[in-house]
Amino acid sequence: MILYELVSFEHLRLIWWLLLGVLLIGFALTDGFDMGTGALLPFVAKTDTERRVVINTVGPVWEGNQVWFILGGGAIFAAFPPLYAVSFSGFYLALFLILSAFIVRPVAFKYRSKREDPTWRARWDWALFFGGAVPALLFGVAVGNVLLGVPFHLTPDLHSVYEGGAFGKLFGLLRPFALLCGIVSLAMLVMHGAGWIVLKTEGVIAERARRFGSIASKVVLAGYALAGLWLAFFIDGYAFVAEPPHDGPSNPLASAVAHSGSWLAAYADRPWIVIAPVMGFLGTAMAGRALRSGGELSPLGWSKMAVFGMISSVGLTIYPFLLPSNTNPDSSLTIWDASSSHQTLFVMLVATVIFMPLILIYTAWVYRVLWGKVTEDDVSNPDTHSY
């Protein structure tokens, strides 16, 4: 009870904004290389044995990695319910495609090698490609739409109304800037997947991964820089006209929001956040260099820095906004007016403090046990129970 009173509502909102970022970044760092590996599968592996090697680099870990996606979605639902309601409604068809890809992927893992038929296996290989490339692309498109603002408004009773119709919920998201963000996201995770393949394989597979990962790093650098320029000169940011109390009730309509210059004005107000895009650029450049120079562990390490920096740069740039509205800025959702109650956030924090370390310890143990390369001999040996 004393601790509950010591941790203010304002601090809990900020803590859960940070934890949400941790969960989403954790998902990108772990399941991100799974998606990147799937997207690279048709290009780095030419024979059936090579494809089995690549598949088995992620086969033992993809299920645990995908838990971060579930944790992130659950955190949005429990900590910021209005964000969950508006985003999952407005992005419904795009999320349906992502979930379809995530459903197809485990089926492909389980059934791909059940038959010797090359046609059967080729179809499941393309299913794995779909399960990796499509979510990687659409997650970036979603981020681009958040930066642009989403066409929704809230009624006086806080019912969300998404404008654009059913098809607009999918094709309306494919705006040029959002597509650029999607390409950057896909290339970033391809680079990340290449780093994983280099770490876990050898020979011609690793060399192909180096080549495609190096190309992806150049696409990321160019696309990330272009997105920054686009954001600086052609996209309006949002700012409070009347800011809600940080410890007040959650009512997005209680604040007044308007377009205000560029999102990048945040870097003038909080210069320290420049560390995030610097990490994004530096990590990408060094990952590409490590891939070209023959590094094994370093490409994945640098790509992790790149992923961390790029995702962090988005959250820090739009802070404290969660989901701006471009049709009615006053309906925009922020961390100060779209959270659950003080008690809910506190109980969730206690549970997180208890269980998050256990998850991290178990994850580290799993990767420690599975450390080492996957070889053609491994997948050819019936005693290894490989995919």
Task: Tell me the pLDDT tens digit for each residue of 236-289.
Answer: 999 999 888 899 999 988 888 988 888 999 999 999 999 999 999 999 999 999
Digit-coded pLDDT (tens) for 357-384? 998 998 899 889 888 898 888 888 776 6
In one-letter notation, the amino acid at residue 272 is: W
Q: Is residue 127 part of a domain?
A: yes
pLDDT digits (tens, 9 = 90+) for 27-40: 999 999 999 999 99
The closest of 108, 102, 109 to 68, measured between CA atoms, is 102
Give CA–CA dist 84/74, Å, rounded: 9
Residue 205 lies in a domain: yes
The answer to whether residue 321 is domain-embedded is no
CA distances in angstroms from 20 to 78, 96, 102, 332, listed in the order given = 11, 22, 21, 18
Residue among 237, 257, 268, 239 nearest 146 (CA): 237
Give CA torsion, residues 307, 313, 315, 321, to 10 deg.
Answer: -160
Q: What region, left, alpha or beta, does residue 261 occupy, with left being phi > 0 and alpha being psi -120 to 50 degrees?
A: left
CB within 8 Å of 338: residues ≥ 6 apart: 80, 81, 82, 83, 250, 252, 322, 323
Alpha-helix residue ranges (DSSP H) falling in 80-157:
81-90, 92-111, 118-148
Q: Give the helix, strand, coil percentages of the chain, each rounded to 5.
A: 75, 5, 20
Residue 225 in domain: yes
* Domain-embedded: residue 76: yes
Q: CB-based burial of residue 262 (10 Å sphere; 0-12 exposed, 13-18 middle, 19+ buried)?
A: middle
For residue 274, is it within any domain?
Answer: no
Q: What is the tens place of the pLDDT at every residue in 71-92?
A: 888 899 999 999 998 988 878 8
Task: Note the pTM of the prediction, 2 decimals.
Answer: 0.94
Examine residue 229 and state whether it is found in any structural domain, yes or no: yes
Which amino acid, residue 235?
A: I
**Residue 140 covered by a domain:** yes
**Number of domains the chain contains:** 1
Is residue 165 over pLDDT 80? no
Q: Which domain holds residue 130?
A: 24-235+338-384
Helix locations, 149-247, DSSP H: 165-171, 176-200, 203-234
| Mean pLDDT of the chain, nearest integer | 91
- In the structure, what pLDDT confidence band is assigned to residue 334 with cuts at 50, 70 and 90? very high
